[in-house]
Each structure stands twice: as C-alpha cells, then as structure tokens.
Amino acid sequence: MTRRQFLKWALWAGTAGFVFQYGLMATELTRGGRSVGRTTGAPRVAVPTVCRLCPARCGILAFLEDGVVVKIEGNPKDPNARGGICPKGLSGVQLLFQPDRLLRPLRRAGPRGSARWQAISWDEAVSELASRLIEIRNNDAQQFVFLSGPASQRPDALTQRFLQAFGGPTVSEARLLRVANRAYALSLTWGADSYVPDLAQTKYILNFGANPYESHEMYVPLIRRLIEGRRGGAKLVTFDPRLSRTAGRSDEWFPLRSGTDAAVALAMANVITQLGLYDREFLEKHSNWPMDALAEHLRPYTPESAERFSGVAAGHIRRIAVEFATTHPALLLTGGGLSQRANGLQNERAVFLLAALTGNVERRGGLCLPRRYELADPEPRPSGAINPLPPQELFVQISLGETSPQLLWIDRANPAFEQPQPHMVQEILKDENKIPFLVVSDSFQTETAQLADLLLPAATFLESWELHSPPAYDLVPYVALQQPVISPWGEARPIPEVLLELAKQMGVEVGRFLPFGSMREYVEKQAQAIPELSAEGGLEHLTEVGIWAPAGHPDYGRDFSTDSKRLEIFSSVLALRKQPALPVYLAVTEHEQLGQDEFLLSVFDTAVQDDGVTPLLWWLMEIEHRNSLWINAEVAKRMRIHEGDWVEISSQVGRIRVRAFPTEGIHPQTVAIHGGLGHWGLGRLAQGGAFRSQDPNTSLIWWKEAGTHVQPLIPIRSDSAAGGQAWQDTVVRLVKVEEGSP
C-alpha cells in the first residue's frame, strides 16, 4: 500500500465507520511490508529508507502510526540484506525521540567545556559560520579543518562537494581510524579499496581476524551469504587470538599469537608455490610479477618459521595451505584483527596473495571487485583540492603547531571519546589558542559536542535524504534511497541542507557549485542521471519502493583498476616510497619482548555495541552494558584472578579498571575487551542508571553500569605506509585490584 493509497483508504474507512476486522485482538503483521497497530488494529504506513547505523546501508521500512515511527524492519526488496535487519537497525527507532536529543542551535555562553549555552536561531548560526569561512577562504583555506563522521561511514556526496567548492580545506575522515590500512592495501593491489566475497558460491573460507557472525562493516548482507555457503558445505577456518563467535562456529580455530597472521599466510603461500598448486594460467594473465621471482621471495617463509612466530603448528599450516589451494572455489575474509596494526598494510597484502596464487579473484566463489553504480555528481562540478589527513594524525599535528585551524568543524564524529589517546585530544579541543573556533554538528551532546563554541543540531538518518549504491553482494549493482520518514524533530536540520545555505551566503565562488534548492533536488538529479532508473520513474519510484534493483547476473572477470590493469603483487608505489614492494611479514619488536605480566590488547566490536550511538539505544544497552576483560583462564589462575574481580590495565599512555572474564577462549599472551562503552557525555542513557524523562521507559532502567572507556589505553600509532591507526598493537600490564584499594 502506497502512502497515497493509504490516505484514500483512511478517508473511506473514517467516513463509512469501518471497523478493522481484527479489533483489539490485532497483532502486528509484517509480511510484505504490511503492519497493523498492536492494540488498535489500524494499518500502519510503511516508508522505505536506508539504515545508517553501520556502513552496510541496509534497506529498511519505517512503520508510522498516527505520524509516529513505531518500529523498523528490513525491506524485503533490498537485494543485499534480503529483508534482514540487525539489532542496531531494529533499535534505530529509538534515536528519533531519544530524551537527550539536541534540538536547537547553541552558542557557548561560558568557558569552553562549561556546558553553559545560549540558544540562537539558525539564521544567526549560519551567518556567523559563513562570515568566518569567507575570511578563512580569503586568507588561507587550509585553516578550515573539517573532520567528518560518523566513524563507520564516508561523508555524503554533497558534503564532499561543498569542501571541494571551498577549495583547499584540510579534511579528515573519522572512518579511516578503522579501515585505512586495509583500504590502501587493496587499492594498491587491485585498484579498489574493498572486496565482495562470493560466499554463497564458495567451498572454503579462510578467515584472518574477522568476526562476521557478530560484527562486520557489511554485516547482514555478508552473514546471510556466509550461512548460505556453510549450508552448501563450505569449510570455515579461522585464525584469531580470541574465540570470537565466528571462531566458535568455525570447523577449525587456530588461536595464533596476536599480529602474526602475515607470517602464517606467507608460509601458506610458500607451500602452495613449492608444491606447484598455484594457478599458473591466472597468474601469467593477471599478475604483474613473474612466478619464479615470487617463489624465491617466499622461500624463507617456511611453516617452521611461521610456527616460531605464531605458535600455529607447521603441520597445520601445511595442511590448511593444501586444502585451500585444492578446494575450488575458495576465498578469504579479513578483519580489523589483521589490518588495524602498525604492519596492517603488509598483513592485508600477504593474506590477499593467497587468493591471487589460487586464482580465486574475480571468479565465482572467490573475492570480487565491488559492483555499484557510480552516482553522478551533477554539473557544475567543483574541481578544488582538499588536503587529506588521517584523523589520529590531525590532533598530533595540531598539538605540534604543524596544522593551525582557525575553524575546526567536527561533523557527527566524537574524537574526544573515540580517538586513541582521548585525553590528549580533549586538551587540544579545550585549548582556544590551538583551535580558536570549534563547531560541532551532531544529534546529541557528545563528549566532543560539550566542548564546542557553536553546536548545531543534526537530523538523524531517519530525517534526511541521500542516494546510495552499496557494494552489491549478489554482484548486480542497485540503488537505494534514504528519505525522511518524518520531518526533523525540533529545530534539527540535515547538515547537507545547512551546507547549501552556507554556500549561498558565501557568494558566487562557492554557491555556483551548490545551486540546489534542497538535498532532495540534489538526490533527484543523481537519480535522473541513471537512464534505466529514470525510465522507471526516478526519484518518485524510489520514494515508493526504496530500492531499484534491475535484473541481471554476476559478470565475473572484471578488469582491475591499477595502472598496469593487473594484480599488482609487486607494488611500484610502495617501492618508490622505500617500503617493501612485495608482501612481507614485519614483526613488531615490542611484541617479541613481552614480560610475564604483559599482554597484547585486542579491542573488538560486538553485535550491539560500537563507538557510535549504540549506547543511546536502551534496547541495546539492556543487552550489553558491561565490557569485561577477556583473559586466559590459566593466566588468571596464576594471577589469582577470578570472574568479576576488578583488574587494572595500564599502557604507556593510560590506565583503566575493568571486571575480569577468565576463559580458555583466548591466547595466553592476549587480553581482549570490546569498545563503545564508558561514556560520560553523549546522554544519560549512555551513562547507566534510571532517570525521568518524557520517555517513561527511562525510569525503568535496572542496570547502573555504563561500561569502561577503552581508548585511554591506546597510543596514537600508525602504519607508516598506509597511515591507519594501530588499534591492536597496544602492550598492556595487568594487576589485580585488591579489595579496599583506592
């Protein structure tokens, strides 16, 4: 039922005195996108849109009853998620009416960080911003610094367009904190910064450091196909120091020493090469490096040497290598446990080499290039440059005076909480000498927002327009529409709409590149640029169904987008930068010299909590409001640590206290904890404990914990080649906190 049909039906039903046949006995019906009120039996209106609580961009249906969003479900028309939805997406309805939402523009009225505010109008806020940006653009455009978020997502196309039209700003993307190393490794190797694993068609899955049964950037699309592949007989082998949910569901789990994945992968590559199990035809046609030279490079990486580094028996390494090379098709999965390291780029390239050697690239059941529509950027297009800077390096440079922002705009990111060494970041954000003017746009008063000079209320994804073409997991590209399901709450505005108004006030040099009356108009032009979609009704069609997915079949065998149009096993780019050009294992020195009570810290996400807004969703907080420290059971026994005991973890930059969780499911030299918890800002829900608000549920909160903030332990440290943060390389010491200790 379309909204137009619903309105006609409602008018007829009201006039005729129609009584819905289920009456008060009605239950919610959801087949085919139909739903009724839980008590009234009245039909609900289903508005299709896109979830933005993770990068997967799953199609969803927001159900409205009397103009209020009452629930969210998956859109059955989405070819990726196939109507599925994760706990985060299901809970997204709670963002709209969250009792601590930011609903009006605020200007600082006391010392920075004092939480004293003066409410102002949007006209005042935009006017002040425009005048400051004009002055900066006329003097030194690089002194405008823009940090985009959320941490899991790319900035939207119109925001990127505004930054290019401004010309020369310094731009940092919060998402690169997590994915920079892997993205750069893949771009160097085959010309795209990600891959699509053809899981449903594969027969063997070799997993290094990923946990798709619980958390993945393409969570629902990937796990559906992983389960399908497993039901079809695919074997799953996982290398991970921790018994994650994925490791627990694997056919084999190898708890290798943290950070030694590349040693194992290169030893496997050596075995495959020495036994002649590689795909000679594929490599001769698609590789840029001769096989005899690659074999010689791999010769030192024996299974025995890998065993010394990793602890994985040489016999297992040989056996898995042969199984992987002789099972067709086969593929690889990689995650943050592999790439979020100081040697992350080389780790990713080493594992990808296994797919190249066996020819499981751009083939059915292997790793495939992303299929998506390149959404057109309407004319006139700006050509101004931006100066990219990794987010963790941004604050280092500001502290050293190497970057001197006159205006720092942080859009829907929370560096005071989510960055490594957050105490240093907080001190920089408080310092008006280093950052004279701080603008934060967000939906909530995050830890970062509390330090702003100008605070702008951002609309949520359920109140905003955007067009998406996610990587298609059936390898046939499609388009998904994110549209407002209700008008923005209070005075909140979508930030792209604010940028359009800013561009107008900044004059023709910027405004001529953003001539759109609204974000809807911009999205409409993007849709019109796809002829087949335009022929089916363009944006109007998308507003009704949410998804445009033309019929088609996977076209395996696409060309690579590298300079050579081949798989660049040898990277000339890395060679020019004096970095290893062939995949290597780079041991981290301090990892080789751990003391008895020193461990490598592993930080992970779960199915319900991450570093975004999940602690604001009380369904999720009720499930998970404590993040205990995983510690090997034998180690805990030696240290006289029992489950629930308080332990203190310290690193070179900070210390925290947390409850212990002894388990046999972790390597003896690794401890692990999940992030996302431990907020002191963001909102009352994120801080634990009951409170009174317009939502009666908040007075029923029974848990008092809010978890532990992990980031204070993490030093700022980057992969020297790719610039990604080394989240998984922190060496920590661990002591039991005795009762009565301060």
Summarised one tens digit per residue, pLDDT across range 329-372 is 999 999 999 999 999 999 999 999 999 999 999 999 999 999 99
pLDDT at 17: 32
| Separation CA 453–CA 112 (nearest Å) | 7
pLDDT at 34: 67
* Ramachandran region, residue 290 (left: φ > 0; alpha: ψ -120 to 50; beta: rest): beta
Residues of the chain with pLDDT under 70: 1-34, 740-742
pLDDT at 50: 98
Q: Are strands 367-368 and 196-197 parallel, antiparallel or unpaired?
A: antiparallel
Summarised one tens digit per residue, pLDDT across range 433-479 is 999 999 999 999 999 999 999 999 999 999 999 999 999 999 999 99
What secondary structure letter does DSSP report for 383?
A: -
Specify the amino acid at residue 157. A
CB 688 within 8 A of CB 625: yes
Task: Give which of 219, 214, 196 is closest to 57, Cα–Cα.
Answer: 219
Task: Give which of 595, 591, 572 is closest to 582, Cα–Cα.
Answer: 572
Map residue 687 onto helix, strand or coil. helix
Computed on alpha carbons and rounded to an integer, the radius of gyration of the chain in Å comes to: 26
- Name the token pair of 311: 């602890």
**Which residues, 6+ apart, have CB-to-CB distance to 160 below 8 Å?**
none
Sheet holding 454-457, edge to edge: 117-119, 106-108, 454-457, 438-442, 407-411, 144-148, 170-173, 387-388
**Which residues, 6+ apart, have CB-to-CB distance to 128 below 8 Å?**
454
CB 396 within 8 A of CB 360: no
Check: pTM over 0.85? Answer yes or no: yes
- Name the token pair of 610: 């991450």
Residue given tokens 């505005």 in the structure block: 493
| Distances in whole angstroms, Cα of residue 519 to Cα of each of 7, 159, 498, 499, 638 | 26, 11, 10, 10, 60
Report the interhelical angle of 391-400 vs 176-190 (nearest 10°).
120
Could you give the dihedral angle defined by the CA atoms of residues 118, 123, 124 and 125, in that order, rounded to the nearest 10 degrees?
A: 80
| Distances in whole angstroms, Cα of residue 260 to Cα of each of 209, 519, 532, 630, 709 | 11, 47, 48, 20, 27
Task: Give which of 90, 93, 96, 56 is closest to 74, Cα–Cα.
Answer: 90
CB 633 within 8 A of CB 663: yes
